[in-house]
Structure 1
Amino acid sequence: MDPKLILMVCLFLIPVTAIADYVRPQPRKTLRFSWNPKPPNYPQQVHISLAGDRHMRVTWVTVDKYSPSIVEYGTSPGRYSSIAKGESTSYSYLFYSSGKIHHTVIGPLEHNTIYFYRCGGQGPDLQLKTPPAQFPVTFAVAGDLGQTGWTKTTLDHIDRCNYDLHLLPGDLSYADYLQHRWDTFGELVQPLASARPWMVTEGNHEEENIPLLKDGFESYNSRWKMPFEESGSSSNLYYSFEVAGVHVIMLGSYVDYDEQSDQYRWLKVDLSKVDRKKTPWLIVLFHVPWYNSNKAHQGEGDDMMMAMEPLLYAANVDIVLAGHVHAYERTKRVNTGRVDPCGTVHITIGDGGNREGLAHRYVNPQPEWSVFREASFGHGELKIVNSTHAFWSWHRNDDDEPVRSDQVWITSLISSGCVAEKKNELRKILVAP
């Protein structure tokens, strides 16, 4: 063969190899959980969440209806210097009856400290780490988890991350009316959720409403109690909390959100209490994205955006995290559909590992406000470094290895002059009837 021809063939092949598209992973099967019987009073499905300043809520389930809702805890393994007593609940769902679901608040706790604890006077010696009191603070972020092989990979990757809290913008277990799937999900996430606070909000797969028989979100509300009362909310479906200079608001995409709704009125009150000197970062989570250039779930967030975006814009929300769409997307700072330096960065991260697979099709041409988009499973990490700078990275699940595929430094609006410019705008909205 002519050497010149061989050279031409090689030169032609090299760039093709270099620009080959990433091969997206296929969906994986739902995990199978072997039957592992435990004593009736053995604590199962343990997870923790923040419960106001320097307090933590410990949640677990027992088969035994008489097991006490107590948590023993201290800073040395096996030596418990404190004990707290909590409350319990249970629910029935058609032919299913839950175990006894315990919720016990412990504290006050020291910041950035490892505590050892035991639930109900039984079971193993568990440990948790409280978040820091000041920057830096790191959030792991993954939505639409489910219980598949990709879910397990996502959780394994998060476990390697040196994070302080997990943020989950809806669609946890994908139980979808099969209540035992809530139990297997609780067991699946316990290794992580018992060690770091999991702060969650509801998605459409949590609703499980049966007209005339069952109200929506009963299973979710019974099992995943968040600090709604501590933040002045009347519903577990929307609440707020503060950690290390960050004010985080969790909103409900599936509860009324118009200007006359309880959620909207609560949001105005909550925003009026935000002190940007104390918490210079303002982050909001909800399930259905407002800015979405994927063909899946197009326009589903429009009504909520129309009602609430003016309020979030006036309040200078830095970042919005959403799920629902089974793909990843990050925007520029945006407001009312246009790039705006005083707008909000929107991140869709509904790609934790759900059983429904990925949303591969995107709207073209790509909108001006959309920076990066890809249909792959993965998780995000948000490190708030100080009052002005945060580092966001998205880690694609590439053959079970975390690959950092998108990253960006984000500058807070408090440092941009936007907060001062919109002060009167926020005041007008907050005082409006």
Structure 2
Amino acid sequence: MMKLLLRHLLSTTLFIAGTVFAGGDYIRPPPRKTLSFPWDQKPSSQPQQVHISLAGDKHMRVTWVTNDGASPSIVEYGTSPEKYSATAQGESTKYSYLLYSSGKIHHTVIGPLQENTTYFYKCGGEGPEFQLKTPPSKFPVTFAVAGDLGQTGWTKSTLDHIDQCKYDVHLLPGDLSYADYLQHRWDTFGQLVQPLASSRPWMVTQGNHEKESIPFLKDGFVSYNSRWKMPFEESGSASNLYYSFDVAGVHFVMLGSYTPYDEYSDQYSWLKADLLKVDRRRTPWLVVLFHVPWYNSNRAHQGEGDDMMSSMEHLLYAAGVDIVFTGHVHAYERTKRVYNGKSDRCGAVHITIGDGGNREGLAHWYKQPPPEWSVFREASFGHGELKMVNSTHAYWSWHRNEDDESVQSDQVWLTSLIGSGCNTGGGSHDMRRILMAS
């Protein structure tokens, strides 16, 4: 009886404080401990921390680490197990961070590849065989979305649930490893995600936990940039911190919340140029990811995205962006279509999904009453699934980690801005005029 009373009091207190419950009296579990990784002595030339990412039209970048500096950066691949019809030569890098020295980090681009096809590949000429599946070139296409992952028990739960999802690409809006200057945690994170990240492309952008700058000693993002090379060069960007790519009929723009974004910055100029090239007849959906949310009714990180929003929101609005994914706030929230602080039928749907499983715990407290633009909000660990069904309709669902079970807690059908009467498409005179004037 006493346990029931305490549970009721806790639930009531959390509700009054501002946490929105989608599951009635669901009691959120506490943070879980950081995972431990037993020491595993592997041959120094054996590939470790294997992950893949998209690298331009019909190409994929394979990244891995070896402890042997003489290991070649080659990838053998083909459509049959252990029968490789092609070989690609790549590049390698390494970095030092105070007393830490990384292994040899290999980046090799393979292709051209057939769409929606399983390939078998081997890195560096030895070690285990991996397999990957390329995304389709046409609808439908499905994306898994989870930010602020870290390396805790809840991270593993989230990854297990994503592994059960039939998805084509993983999207991560910042805060990957939570290494926080302890560089070996980048290695253990690579080990943790390898089973998923070696089989489906992971497209990521940076968060505050990737910064790792030390004044006068180390610039920020050296670890992130060395290990998670994205297709920035392929998309005309000068920085790995912002880039774009296409999947089927979706154009994705990955922005940097922690690199200059004002109207005089390189990122701002690149974003304008990238949006002007978008052809909504070819990619009818336009989706943007960055780390710090612009629309956030949680008490955590209030106002941190205001400057970036002030600089860039009008560009996204002019281009007709459909969806914006962010992280940073360790909770989930979905908005209506919104622009300039209020609902707008031509604005983007903003989804905060910084609840992948980080060690810092959940952001429980929300502002009351909720803003008129906020549709659904809940402080739970989980992941999202975005299925682009066709050029006009998509199905979004968010899945809470409930006692290690994946429970669909929010879902909505989304309609693209194509045909809405809003300014969309690279050929739109109004959009081009607005972007050029910005």
| Pairwise TM-score range, normalised by the shorter structure | over 0.9
Name the amino acid aligned to 1:427: R
What's the secondary structure of 1:140's corresponding residue?
strand
The equivalent of 2:437 in structure 1 is: 432
TM-score normalised according to structure 1 size: 0.95
Normalised to the residue count of structure 2, the TM-score between the two structures is 0.94
- Measured in 2, the distance between the counterparts of 1:153 and 1:427 equals 45
What corresponds to 2:299 in structure 1?
295
- Aligned partner of residue 413 in structure 1, secondary structure: coil
Q: Give the one of 337, 345, 348 matched to 1:333.
A: 337
Selected match of 1:279 from 278, 283, 290? 283
Q: Aligned-pair distance for 1:429? A: 3.2
Once residues 305 and 24 of structure 2 are traced to their aligned partners in structure 1, the CA distance between those partners, rounded to angstroms, is: 34
Asked if 1:418 corresponds to 2:431, the answer is no
Which of these residues, 346, 360, 365, is aligned with residue 356 of structure 1? Answer: 360
Based on CA coordinates, which of the two structures has the bigger radius of gyration? 1
CA distance in 2, matches of 1:150, 1:19: 19
1:311·1:426 contact (CA, 8 Å) conserved in 2? no
Question: How much does 1:423 deviate?
Answer: 4.0
Q: 1:415 aligns to what SS in structure 2?
A: coil
Amino acid across the alignment from 1:362: Y
- How far is the alpha carbon of 1:20 from its aligned partner? 4.6
Measure the CA separation in 2 of the matches of 1:325 and 1:255.
Answer: 19
Conservation of the 8 A alpha-carbon contact between 2:63 and 2:107: yes
Task: Give the RMSD, CA atoms, in angstroms.
Answer: 1.4
Measure how far apart 1:418 and its partner are: 1.3
Query: In the alignment, residue 267 of structure 2 is paired with which amino acid?
Result: Q
By how many angstroms is 1:204 displaced?
0.1
Bigger relative CO (Cα 8 Å, ≥ 6 apart)? 2
1:420 positional shift: 5.8
Which residue of the other structure, out of 211, 236, 247, is the alignment partner of 2:251?
247
Determine the structure 2 residue equivalent to 1:25: 29
Write the mapping of 1:11-410 to structure 2, written as runs, cut at 5 A: 20-410=24-414
In structure 2, give the amino acid aligned to 1:431: M
Q: What are the ranges of 5 or more consecutive residues in structure 2 without an aligned counterpart?
A: 1-11, 13-21
For residues 347 and 183 of structure 2, what CA distance do their matches in structure 1 show?
41
Kindly provide the CA deviation profile for residues 26-82 of structure 1, in whole angstroms up to 9, marking residues without a partner as x.
Answer: 100000000011000000000000000000000000000000000000000001010
Contact 2:318 2:424 in 1 (8 A): no
Counterpart of 1:403, as a letter, is V
User: Post-superposition shift, 1:430?
Assistant: 2.7
Q: Note the residue ranges of structure 1 that are not aligned, 5 or more in a row.
A: 1-15
Instruction: Give the number of aligned pairs.
Output: 417
Q: Once the 2 structures are TM-superposed, how far is the Cα of residue 426 of structure 1 from its aligned partner?
A: 2.2
Identity value in percent: 78
The CA distance in 2 between the partners of 1:358 and 1:427, in whole Å, is: 41
Deviation at 1:393, TM superposition (A): 0.1
Shift of 1:366: 0.5
| 1:19–1:109 distance in 2 versus 1, CA, 3 Å | closer
Aligned AA (1:160): Q
Separation in 2, partners of 1:19, 1:153:
19
